[in-house]
Chain A
Amino acid sequence: MQPAIRIADVRKSFGALHALNGVSFDIQQGEFFGLLGPNGAGKSTLINIIAGLIQPSSGSISVMGHDVISHWRAARQSLGVVPQELVFDPFFNVRDMLRLQAGYFGCGKESWPWIDEMLDALELSSKRSTSMRALSGGMKRRVLIAQALVHKPKVVILDEPTAGVDVELRRTLWGFMRRLHAQGTTVVLTTHYLEEAQEMCSRIAILDQGEVKALEPTRTLLQRHPFRFLTLSFSGAPLPEGLRPFVHAEADGSIELKLDRRTQPVAAVLEQLRVEGCVVNDIHTREPDLEDIFVELTKK
């Protein structure tokens, strides 16, 4: 089966700035894929090249087997993109915006039931005749999501869809995207909310300074670093000097240590504390989450 998106040695420069330095990877059909990276990592540039909004300096990208430059019509027909910015056309109401967008993709009246279905699913039914300019930011975001899906694309890219939106919309959005994904749609998500990526994505690429720093299933990525975090609150003697280098965070009288699970068993640390005269009052351990991995991989 051909990949949903194939990215082959894509480079993009803006003058002296190298936004992408030879990025290559595939996103398989049916994946819920996370594309993560700090600001300026090259995520948006890559998405814009996939969408045909900008041209790469070199390399190639195909969507569902269609090259985004030589077979751009078929590639765009296969793709839906939810842009990061809250853009809208003030001349039209919600339903007209969606019908127009469907029309751009060659879909006529046959798409209207699907549009109504999306309006219901995204809780926009009561706003169907409301002018775009009268909608709140969250409502506009919902319309953008529906616009990206009007032509039932096989691949959907969500570029930071939950930036600055409330909890209710997030729940609505993720519920809807889970439903689409279950029906076979490939979903590519960029977000700065790493807990969302951890929860939703089965595979993740981390981009930094225009290069792929990690590309692994989420579970593998989470197990990639042999760290464990041990939070202690204790009294008596101060923290032994030998443990100082492992302090990861300190707050409200408790200390979080970042330990290598292969060489620093928790029992050994507790024994060291006891020997040095510390009385442990409370103890808590946690495994690294995606944010810890992300920080580890992208730290300068």
Chain B
Amino acid sequence: MSVFGNPYGFRTLFFKECRRFTAVLGQTVGAPVITALLYLLVFAQAMSGRTPVYEGVSYSAFLVPGLIMMTVIQNAFANTSSSLIQSKVMGNLVFVRLAPIGAVEWFVAYVGAALVRCLLVAGAMLAVTAPFLQLPFARPLELFVIFALGATALAAGGVIVGLISQKFDHIAAFTNFFITPLSFLSGVFYSVSALPPFWATASHFNPFFYMIDGFRYGMFGQADAPILMSLAWCAAFAAVMSGIALKMLADGYSLRK
């Protein structure tokens, strides 16, 4: 049986998921952009006069790709996890579960919608900072691939957590104890090479570090880790998270008791 046997059903679910977050655009795109810009404003002011991390790149410019990727990470996770938990709590997940929509269609629709939200968030941040900062987009292909892999990995993570969680508190716990700390400790505000050796080594086991570092490479053509390593980490992380999410959806984890 085809894993993509209901393309119209997939398309409908994808557009429904997009409409879900566009219905509250201020909350889903506007708010994270404002938060990221506040970080930029505060840290750029506080750290002004600091020696540039990369030659020819101001600290403010250095911050922007990290903040974009951090926001992408958080929003990709939030989009899928909040959609699933809302549908579970409200009980309306049954509408999709009764339909002839398979695990792959379900997964791609949810992750695809999360990617669209992340594109909007990243685009809005770039548009707002463009008048003040010249960002070179040195390696656009790598930039986009890292963005797509990072967003996919976190959106898949959101599916996993959304399936596991039984109430909103569970999602909040995952966000507060895993997503936020790991994204803050991944070199958004600094270069990990400036950290003490132990923390610099520890950072290299944080997959979020490779997303942010790789995205920064795409922007400036230079980064802390080799781009191939960042690509490999992001691809592996996305593959593992997607594999787990797909397996859980196919098995009906916590849905088909």
Chain A residues in the interface with B (C-beta under 8 A): 14, 51-55, 71-74, 76-77, 79, 81, 83, 85, 87-92, 100-101, 103-108, 147
Number of A-B residue pairs with CB-CB distance less than 8 Å in the complex they form: 77
Residue numbers in A under 8 Å from B95 (CB-CB): 87, 89, 100-101, 104, 147
**CB-defined A-B contacts under 8 Å, sample of 17:** A14-B257, A52-B97, A52-B256, A53-B256, A54-B257, A72-B100, A73-B5, A83-B94, A87-B90, A87-B94, A87-B95, A103-B9, A103-B13, A104-B9, A104-B96, A106-B6, A106-B100
Q: A90 to B90, alpha carbons, bound, how many Å?
A: 9
Q: Is the CB of A100 within 8 A of B92?
A: no
- For A14, the chain B residues whose CB sits under 8 A away are 257
Q: With the chains together, A100 CA to B9 CA distance in Å?
A: 9
Interchain CA distance A53-B252 in the complex, whole Å: 9
Is B100 a contact partner of A105 (Cβ separation < 8 A)? yes
Smallest Cβ distance from A210 to chain B, in angstroms? 16
A80 to chain B, nearest CB (A): 8
Residue in B closest to A102 when the chains form the complex, CB atoms = B12
A77, B1: Cα distance in complex, Å: 15
Q: Are A55 and B252 in contact (CB under 8 A)?
A: yes
Task: Please state if A51 and B98 are interface contacts (CB–CB under 8 Å).
Answer: yes
Q: What is the CA–CA distance of A73 and B106 in the complex, to the nearest angstrom?
A: 14
Contact with A along B87-104 (1 / 0, CB 8 A): 100111011111111100
Q: Is B168 an interface residue (CB 8 A)?
A: no
- 10 tightest A-B CB contacts, nearest first: A103-B12, A104-B99, A87-B91, A73-B100, A76-B100, A106-B8, A89-B92, A104-B9, A87-B92, A54-B256
B247 at the A/B interface (Cβ < 8 Å)? no
**B20: interface (CB < 8 Å):** yes
Of B13, B92, B257, which is in contact with the most chain A CB atoms at under 10 Å from its CB? B92
Q: When chains A and B are docked, how far (Å) is the Cα of A91 from the Cα of B28?
A: 14
Among B16, B87, B94, the residue within 8 A (CB) of A100 is: B16
Whether A88 lies near B12 (C-beta < 8 A) is no
